[in-house]
Amino acid sequence: MQQAFELRQGRWQLTLAEEDYGTSRQLAAGCDGFIADDEDEQVDDIERSCVNCARRRWLIDAIECTFL
Amino acid sequence: MRSWLVCIDDTDDIGTKGTGEIAEEIAHLLSDNHLSRCAFVTRHQLYVHPDIPYTSHNSAMCFQVRTAKSQNEILEIAVAHLRSESAAAADPGIALLDLQHACDREALIAFGEQAKEEVKTKAQAYALAEQLGIHLSEHGGTGQGIIGALAGLGLRLQGNDGRIKGQFNLPGLEAGEVSLSVGEVIELTGVDRVLSDCGEQLCFKTPLYLSGKVKAVYRDHQVSLLVYEEQGRWRNALKQQLKHY
């Protein structure tokens, strides 16, 4: 997973292309730390996706993983 | 009976009850089981930045309620619930606006809009609340949630921001796609209108094809079911599209 997330200033970050959550879904499918966030905070129709995870932290055009 | 806007922020932590659910519970407590007195909760997205200590998304939740209760009675109920239901690690804040109270609404709206684009401070939030005569208080942790709570009030007042909390249950939806006219959807869900992603309000007879999670956004002070056109059919917006609201 670290190959997709990049370590920037001590934070594991995944840059997101506008509404393409393909990588986000692939990564979450193989992640032991995934916890679905509240439905109201989800932005991908496929639930198991890093952008829907309660352990992600939104940044501008990117998310930070607090589980890694 | 008076109308109030209540907004809360920063009440949750990973794996705990969400801020939206707590807002909905407070709304029900304040409305004395008259559901028509508290129609819906709006979710307002605020700025995301490393310098802001939100847990995962930085959103505030706001609702309107009609009640004969005094401000002190409202706060007593809301704050008690906020304290009991907020996560231990949360930094909850609450803002309360009497909609009959004359104040500089433009200043409040401006604060909300700024909080979507820049880092705001607690001092700025308290100063504006005092200037406008709006109740703003913190109830645990750093109290950082007061910033979002005040911003959420402004964004709800502005009337063109946010998504409606929750989703609509429609008969047959669980089995897949449902086809209903705009008029039928309004009747079944209580939304004010059906709005295309280009801003066009669809007429009552227009057929819609609904599937998955059916959610609404707040636009022009109206609960608006957002749809988009695909191969000549109007479909409910996907979450990816709703993200921008």
pLDDT band for position A3 (cuts 50, 70, 90): low
A55 touches chain B (CB under 8 A): yes
Query: Do strands B207-210 and B233-236 pair parallel, antiparallel, or not at all (unpaired)?
Result: parallel
**E strands, B51-126, in order:** 59-67, 93-98
Q: What gap in Å lies between CA B83 and CA B93, rounded to an integer?
A: 10
Which residue in the set A21, A42, A55 is minimally distant from B14, CB to CB? A55
Kindly determine whether residue B48 and residue A41, on different chains, have CB atoms separated by under 8 Å. Answer: no
**C-alpha atoms less than 13 angstroms from C-alpha of B231 in its C-beta half-sphere:** 1
Kindly determine whether residue A43 and residue B20, on different chains, have CB atoms separated by under 8 Å. Answer: no
In tens, the pLDDT along B149-197 reads 999 999 999 999 999 999 999 988 988 999 999 999 999 999 999 999 9
pLDDT computed for residue A2 by the predictor: 52
Tokens encoding B188 = 């079944």
Tokens encoding B217 = 């956004």
| Test mutation, A15, A41, A42, A63, chain B, max B CBs within 10 A | A41
Query: Do strands B135-138 and B93-98 pair parallel, antiparallel, or not at all (unpaired)?
Result: antiparallel
For residue A38, the chain B residues in CB contact (below 8 A) are 12, 18, 20-21
Is the Cβ–Cβ distance between B6 and B60 less than 8 Å?
no
What ipTM goes with this model? 0.86
For residue B14, the chain A residues in CB contact (below 8 A) are 35, 54-55, 66
In tens, the pLDDT along B188-228 reads 999 999 999 999 999 999 999 999 999 999 999 999 999 99
**Helix/strand/coil for A1:** coil
**Sequence-ordered alpha helix ranges (H) in B31-104:** 71-85
Q: pTM of the entire structure?
A: 0.93
Q: What is the DSSP letter of A53?
A: B
pLDDT computed for residue B240 by the predictor: 86
Q: How far is CA B84 from CA B11, B20, B79, B140, in A?
A: 10, 15, 8, 11
**Helix/strand/coil for B230:** strand
pLDDT computed for residue A61 by the predictor: 85
Identity (one letter) of the amino acid at A29? A
Question: Is the confidence at residue A17, as pLDDT, over 60?
Answer: yes
Q: What gap in Å lies between CA B205 and CA B172, rounded to an integer?
A: 20
Kindly determine whether residue B213 and residue A59, on different chains, have CB atoms separated by under 8 Å. Answer: no
